[in-house]
Amino acid sequence: MKLIIENFRRFLTEQNFISEIPLEQDEDGNIILYHVSGAEDIEELDPDIAAKNLQNYTTVEYRTWDRPRVFYFTRLGQVDTGIGEIQGIPYRVKLRPEQLYPIMKDPAGLSSLIEQQKWMEENIPEFAEELQTAQKCTGEEKDVSKWSKHICNKVSDSFGLAYTEDRFAGKRLMVNNPKYHHLKPNTYEMVANLAEERYNSIGFIYPQSGEEENQIVALWRKVPAEKLDKDFY
């Protein structure tokens, strides 16, 4: 039984969510990524260092999420959809495909409302207190209108989501209550934490400007790098 559990855990942490994305690979199945930098002789690409030297084209990305990260192209000669070719010294890194999580497709549902509710329960005391006082509905009750809040399996969004019910305002999910809006997690930060915790992911992959042929990778962990012996463009 112990071996079965260990193998199942290994399966969970080795899922390849990007097998359908056409990416360059080496003979060992590693994904090859490219980074263009103005610095010479880099042996390791470190997000903390990159965050201290932001370029104009990366500051836009940081408006929605401020975790330090390094951005990569997924093919030789790829241009930034916003500014075109990026001048500098090209470097190459290699990753296992299991280390990247497709943030926009979110196949594991890490940005779902139920995950938000779990995060808020663990990190927002007043939300947790309110959630604990919610009465549990089995779906068999004939009249729950007298309950101020309850968890019900009849909520269409997802099983286990709690909502408040007001005679005049109607039903509202607790995670969407305006009084908690300023306390809610940054979606990218929450998904990054969950992806790393559950699947050992160290970065996101996503289509830049929505263009599937222009996949971009953002890594929040430092990785070894080697300088290319040829031009990137």
* Model pLDDT for residues 207-219, shown as the tens digit of each residue: 998 999 999 999 9
Direct distance between the N- and C-terminal alpha carbons of the chain, in angstroms, rounded to an integer: 54
Query: Would you tell me how many other CB atoms lie within 10 Å of the CB of residue 196?
Result: 16
Structural contact between residues 189 and 197, judged by C-beta atoms closer than 8 angstroms: no
pLDDT the model gives residue 51: 85
pLDDT the model gives residue 157: 47
Range 164-188 average pLDDT: 84
pLDDT the model gives residue 146: 59
Contacts of 30 (CB under 8 A, 6+ apart): 94, 95, 96, 97
Residue 145 pLDDT class (50, 70, 90 cuts)? low
pLDDT the model gives residue 62: 79
pLDDT the model gives residue 53: 78
Lowest mean pLDDT across 64-73, 161-170, 193-202: 161-170
Structural contact between residues 159 and 169, judged by C-beta atoms closer than 8 angstroms: no
Residue 123, phi then psi, degrees to nearest 5 = -120, -10
pLDDT the model gives residue 61: 74
pLDDT the model gives residue 158: 45
Q: For 51-100, write each residue's pLDDT tens digit.
A: 887 765 566 677 889 999 999 999 999 999 888 999 999 999 999 999 99
Lowest mean pLDDT across 24-38, 124-138, 201-215: 124-138
Structural contact between residues 195 and 185, judged by C-beta atoms closer than 8 angstroms: no
pLDDT the model gives residue 77: 96
**What average pLDDT is seen over the chain?**
85
Q: Which of 45-54, 149-158, 161-170 has the highest mean pLDDT?
A: 45-54
Please give the Cα distance from 20 to 28 (Å, whole number).
18
Range 151-160 average pLDDT: 55
pLDDT the model gives residue 56: 57
pLDDT the model gives residue 164: 74
pLDDT the model gives residue 149: 60
